[in-house]
Amino acid sequence: MTAETARPLARYSAFQRRGDFIFLSGVIAVDPTAGLIIRGFDDLPKGAGRTIGQTGEFPVDMKDGPILAQSRFRLDRIRATMEKAGCLMANVFKLVQYFRDLDHSPRYNTVRRRVFPDTPPVSTVVEASAMMPSRDILIEVEATTWLPVRP
């Protein structure tokens, strides 16, 4: 599995550019081509789990694996989409994160720190009772990017 761009599950745009800004629709951990919802480390490329906190301890990985794997997958999709739009993750200045359970926020933040090691984007965090297309979706993230038009 490679980091493909975010793709809508229904009839809406994955992203749109308006002047110097790129607005990215909410991204969830779903690969619509494969019909796969990311549910844990086993759904990531081999070895990727170790880079984001996979311990090899069954109870820890069962508890933390879903949110860590979804966080990594989702951020990879955002990165690929931003690159397709002509910018870098460093251009992302605003994130809106929707969590099914706010207790997942600290584990998501460990993955987010790896993607934004210097200046993190401004953020809004919201708890939502459910997300489409399944209760297995734990987090959805919207991104806004500044990409100045070059003359």
pLDDT at 48 (0 to 100): 94
pLDDT digit string, tens, across residues 20-37: 999 999 999 988 778 889
- Choice between 87 and 94, residue whose per-residue pLDDT is larger: 94
Q: Where are the alpha helices (DSSP H) in the chain?
A: 48-52, 58-84, 105-115
pLDDT classification of 129: cutoffs 50, 70, 90: very high
pTM of the model: 0.88
Q: Residue 52 above 70 pLDDT?
A: yes
Q: Quote the CA–CA distance of 86 and 148 in Å, as a whole number.
A: 11
Q: Which domains, and CATH codes, for the chain?
A: 15-146 (3.30.1330.40)
